Amino acid sequence: MIPDHLLRDRYWKAMLYLFSNHPKLERYFTAQYFDLESGTVRAAALKKAAAPWSESEKFVLNLALHCFNEIHKVNLSDMDYLDQQSKQLAFEAIKLRFG
């Protein structure tokens, strides 16, 4: 169960949206990578796990991590790798975080 305060937090909200709605990211929304109680994300471990993923899947992960903390950079031009459904997810996450 995701704590309510995280669902209201603009940094968490956008990342949680992507991890809840993207098929690949959904599988990695586990205690191995997320500690919801302490509010931490094992970003380096997620990036390591994503090494063999497609460019589009890596972009969505990078966007999710960037929405959570800007230290994680994302190249918006890589949205060209996304299909229409993933683009819609990306736009919604950007709106949740920056809108």
Threshold 0.85, pTM exceeds:
yes
**What's the rounded Cα separation, in Å, for the pair 18 and 94?**
10
| Six token digits for residue 43 | 């970003």
> Cβ of 94: how many Cβ atoms within 10 Å?
17
Chain segment 24-47, per-residue pLDDT in tens:
999 999 999 999 999 999 999 999
pLDDT digits (tens, 9 = 90+) for 57-70: 999 999 999 999 99
Mean pLDDT for all residues in the chain: 96
3 state SS of 34: strand
